[in-house]
């Protein structure tokens, strides 16, 4: 694990180096982060900085066009590199363009690198071949991933480099490239990069040391590790990795749970998931499925549980042999907290707001429990289809009043962390007289909907309980083991705080 150090002044850099020395396997000194007047000081003191830590060091002086922090001329870069003194402990990360102009440093410890921030280039393999033709000891390629399938060329290149006896650092940047950062070292990448703390990353999608070591347990991942993950877009806000990885750790499961940023589901299923056609040799065991794929994933499965068929949504995929099996654990996750609270009876009335996959699960669960359900939604056509499917009455959300309902469920994404956080499907005036307001959004822990409900005098229930309850059932489907409920719940709370 390489920790990049990016600071504007030399004293700040030296302070961060000391901190990084206790957690990193390698430290990268980003000289391009320094203010212009600080670079000569760095050149003068670099030997002392290197000797202050026990781990190896990479020195980088990256130009802006390759992802650096400063505009640097060829001459500036040459002068910098020619001032560096070779050392067995030091690697020099030099861009391919510069290494081809002339020998800029007399050292065999060169990392020859190439970066692409516009996606995976069509000549990706050819770029690797050009790097491999240099005398560099280590090669590095980094590309921008826009969808998780963009990780495939990176993994293929790692396989090729291993077969050719080349040392290669290969990764995909951005949220969609996260898989390469977590699985890369176990598949031959010379290293992976990790930020010292939140906000100190030097490339898009870079995780922290704590996340890689504690959350994803990167030091325990190998080629036999079973892979699970969350498929959707967006997914980086999810705390499911905290929940499931804590469960794997507690039950001694050799597994890791990763968020997969997937906009186009079909190529992901065909190229990375389905055993008969996938292009990656990995131990994929199962998937969680979230928006916007809970409905469309059903078209790609070999078998679907009766409950999921009735609901019309799948949130869990189990890979068994060469088959993809679909389940819906949202139904149990949704109803369990309500039953625990004794919040429902045979004559209860519930209003469900929404018409997507979460609303499907909520309506199905409530109907099975004997609750009278009325549907409210912004999308009239989707609401009409859902209402017909479950023989419900359906009313427009705009101007609705929920007085007289025992339960009101927010099954929309309104109020979730991000652009929708300041939105609510119902106000305090609309919720006046309601007994219990149940928000399926779990992040943040108190949404605007819940605040409005409290102002109206309602009891409230957040989505955290549902999240953990449905995750426990996924855990059982994937591993055959009973999930450690308390461990997973505590991990969910920790993840939410972070």
User: Among all residues, which ones are annotated catalytic?
Assistant: 294
Written as six digits, the tokens of 56 are 């190896």
Specify whether the CB–CB gap between 46 and 59 falls below 8 A: yes
Specify whether the CB–CB gap between 42 and 30 falls below 8 A: no
Written as six digits, the tokens of 179 are 């898989």
The edge-to-edge listing of strands for the beta sheet with 323-327 is 255-261, 226-232, 283-289, 316-320, 323-327, 303-304
Beta bridge partners of 229: 258, 287
Using the 8-state DSSP alphabet, how is residue 204 labeled? T
223: left (phi over 0), alpha (psi -120 to 50) or beta: alpha
Other CB atoms within 10 A of residue 309 CB: 13
Give every CB contact of residue 421 below 8 A, 6+ residues apart in sequence: 415, 444, 447, 448
Distance CA 467, CA 483 (A): 13
Beta bridge partners of 407: 350, 436
Distance CA 227, CA 257 (A): 6
Distance CA 65, CA 75 (A): 15
Helix residue ranges, H only, 52-99? 74-82, 96-99
Comparing C-alpha atoms, which of 210, 206, 219, 217 is closest to residue 180?
206
Helix or strand (DSSP H, E) at 320: strand 316-320
- Residue-wise DSSP of 206-267: PPBHHIIIIIS-GGG--TT-EEEEEEESS-TT--HHHHHHHHHHHTT--EEEEEEE-S-HHH
Specify whether the CB–CB gap between 39 and 31 falls below 8 A: yes
Beta bridge partners of 168: 139
Using the 8-state DSSP alphabet, how is residue 273 labeled? I
Distance CA 419, CA 469 (A): 27
Give every CB contact of residue 229 below 8 A, 6+ residues apart in sequence: 257, 258, 259, 260, 287, 288
């Amino acid at each position: 694990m390489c920790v990049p150090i990016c600071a504007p002044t030399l004293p700040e850099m030296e302070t961060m180096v000391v901190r990084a020395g206790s957690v990193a396997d390698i430290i990268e000194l980003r000289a391009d982060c320094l203010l212009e007047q600080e670079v000569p000081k760095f050149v003068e003191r670099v030997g002392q900085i290197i000797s202050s830590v026990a781990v190896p060091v990479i020195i980088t002086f990256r130009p802006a066009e390759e992802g650096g922090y400063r505009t640097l001329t060829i001459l500036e870069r040459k002068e910098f590199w020619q001032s560096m003194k070779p050392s067995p402990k030091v690697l020099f990360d030099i861009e391919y363009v510069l290494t081809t102009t002339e020998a800029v440093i007399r050292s065999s410890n060169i990392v020859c690198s190439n970066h692409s921030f516009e996606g995976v280039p069509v000549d990706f393999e050819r770029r690797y071949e050009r790097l491999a033709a240099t005398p560099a000891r280590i090669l590095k390629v980094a590309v921008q991933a826009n969808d998780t399938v963009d990780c495939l060329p990176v993994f293929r290149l790692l396989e090729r480099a291993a077969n050719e006896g080349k040392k290669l650092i290969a990764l995909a940047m951005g949220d969609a490239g996260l898989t390469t950062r977590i699985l890369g070292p176990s598949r031959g990448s010379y290293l992976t990069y990790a930020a010292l703390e939140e906000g100190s990353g030097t490339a898009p999608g870079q995780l922290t040391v704590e996340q890689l070591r504690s959350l994803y347990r990167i030091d325990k991942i190998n080629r036999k590790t079973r892979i699970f993950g969350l498929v959707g877009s967006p997914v980086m806000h999810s705390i499911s990795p905290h929940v499931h990885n804590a469960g794997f750790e507690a039950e001694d499961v050799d597994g890791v749970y990763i968020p997969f940023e997937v906009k186009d589901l079909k190529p992901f299923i065909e190229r990375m998931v389905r055993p008969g056609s996938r292009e990656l040799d990995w131990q994929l065991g199962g998937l969680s499925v979230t928006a916007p794929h809970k409905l469309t994933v059903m078209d790609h499965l070999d078998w679907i549980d009766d409950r999921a068929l009735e609901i019309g949504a799948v949130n869990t995929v189990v890979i068994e042999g060469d088959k993809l099996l679909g389940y819906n654990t949202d139904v149990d996750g949704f109803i369990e907290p309500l039953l625990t609270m004794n919040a429902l009876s045979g004559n209860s009335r519930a209003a469900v707001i929404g018409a997507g996959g979460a609303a499907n699960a909520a309506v199905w669960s409530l109907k099975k429990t004997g609750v009278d359900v009325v549907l409210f939604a912004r999308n009239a056509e989707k609401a009409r289809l859902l209402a017909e499917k479950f023989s419900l009455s359906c009313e427009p959300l705009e101007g609705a009043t929920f007085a007289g309902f025992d339960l009101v469920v927010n099954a929309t994404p309104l109020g979730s962390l991000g652009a929708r956080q300041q939105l609510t499907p119902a106000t305090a005036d609309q919720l006046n007289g309601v007994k219990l307001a149940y928000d399926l959004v779990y992040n943040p822990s108190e949404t605007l909907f819940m605040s409005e409900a409290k102002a109206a005098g309602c009891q409230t229930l957040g989505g955290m309980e549902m999240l953990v309850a449905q995750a426990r059932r996924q855990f059982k489907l994937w591993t055959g083991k009973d999930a450690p409920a308390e461990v997973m719940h505590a991990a969910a709370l920790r993840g939410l705080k972070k």
